[in-house]
Chain A
Amino acid sequence: MPTIVVEVMPKAVLLDPAGKAVAGALARSGTSRFTDVRLGKRFELSFAGDADDAALSEARELAEHLLSNGVIEDVVSVHFANAKPATSTSAASTSANSTPAAL
């Protein structure tokens, strides 16, 4: 059964109090390497049928209008679970840009 992964992050310009709290815990645990944490969401949408562009485009539509709120969040990636997007690493690490090629 194909699965599409949708990743949503709080907008980079907004304060992310949850991420900040985790960053505080990291510091208290003795880690000094990682100084900043941002917390987002990952959705896994499974369905019966073909893993085609139509499914992907429906998932994108859902991601924009239901799974995220454009006022406070950005969709950073929509991709098939088994097909890692070419830009997934950079997408995850540069959510500030918020519209990687995978979208």
Chain B
Amino acid sequence: MRIGVVTFPGSLDDRDAQRAVRLAGADAVALWHGEHDLHGVDALILPGGFSYGDYLRCGAIASLSPIMAEIIAAANRGVPVLGICNGFQMLAEAHLLPGGLIRNNHGSFVCRDQKLRVENTSTAWTNGFAPAAEITIPLKNGEGGFIADADTIARLEGENLVAFRYLELNPNGSLNDIAGITNARGNVVGLMPHPEHAVEEGFGPDTAAAMRSGTDGLTFFTSAIAAFATSV
């Protein structure tokens, strides 16, 4: 399976995402924001960072970049798309996911290992998790407060479209402790925390077993591989 990772000017975690893809057992394909070519990949990742300096609004300029037209078309065909942090902001700006992300309610950048509950385990990126699995992966953002109008929140909750919820602490003021959401089809998923930083022992969050041994993020990528295997 080939998973594309798009690099935008200001992307920071594109290499980490490529590495996570390889550790999960797929081929990582580097894609460039200024092109229209998806190189025939089977799934797509929009990585974290500060694309285009976060000018205008986080993810707004990236959502209008040349490759985004192809990504929107691919998403609408059912190709799995994962937006991480800045990538989640791009998906919201591109209207592939509802709601928006605003500055953290406490006004500060936050960087911590964050506990989450996986609320929806039937998406292309979460099918490998046990129902209601509790995981810990890094979170690092300044504008991660998820908001939407009351009707949208009710629909997200009612249709089980909340994919991840913050546990123990709401780090940014997100409504209903929402950390990530999915579209109804389950192929487009966005979240603020970073699964690609928790894929290899020695470099992940601390666990009860050992320092930096957390690899809860790896399941995102193996889930996409499993989804692909059942689709072909």
Binding site for B on A (CB under 8 A): 10, 14-15, 17-18, 20-21, 66-67, 69, 71-73
Contact check, A71 vs B148: say whether CB atoms are below 8 A apart.
yes
Contact check, A69 vs B104: say whether CB atoms are below 8 A apart.
no
Contact check, B64 vs A21: say whether CB atoms are below 8 A apart.
no
Contact check, B105 vs A72: say whether CB atoms are below 8 A apart.
no
Contact check, B147 vs A71: say whether CB atoms are below 8 A apart.
yes
B73 to chain A, nearest CB (A): 19
In the complex, identify which listed stretch (B40-48, B75-83, B92-100) lies at the interface while the others stay far away. Answer: B92-100
Q: Which residues of B contact A66 (CB under 8 A)?
A: 56, 60, 64
Contact check, A18 vs B103: say whether CB atoms are below 8 A apart.
yes
Contact check, B107 vs A69: say whether CB atoms are below 8 A apart.
no
Of the candidates A10, A20, A71, which one forms a contact with B92 in the assembled complex, judged by CB atoms under 8 Å apart?
A: A71
Closest 5 CB pairs of A and B: A71-B100, A17-B107, A72-B100, A17-B103, A21-B107
CA of A86 to CA of B106 in the docked complex: distance in angstroms?
A: 37
Instruction: Confirm or deny: B57 has a beta carbon within 8 angstroms of a beta carbon on chain A.
Output: yes
B88 to chain A, nearest CB (A): 13
Contact check, B99 vs A71: say whether CB atoms are below 8 A apart.
yes
Q: Which residues of A contact B98 (CB under 8 A)?
A: 71
Q: Which residues of B contact A17 (CB under 8 A)?
A: 103-107
Contact check, A69 vs B103: say whether CB atoms are below 8 A apart.
no
26 A-B contacts, Cβ less than 8 Å apart? A14-B102, A14-B147, A15-B145, A15-B173, A17-B104, A17-B106, A17-B107, A18-B103, A18-B107, A21-B107, A66-B56, A66-B60, A67-B56, A69-B57, A69-B60, A69-B93, A69-B100, A71-B92, A71-B98, A71-B99, A71-B100, A71-B149, A72-B100, A72-B102, A72-B147, A73-B57
B105 to chain A, nearest CB (A): 6
Q: Which residues of B contact A10 (CB under 8 A)?
A: 102
Q: Which residues of A contact B145 (CB under 8 A)?
A: 15
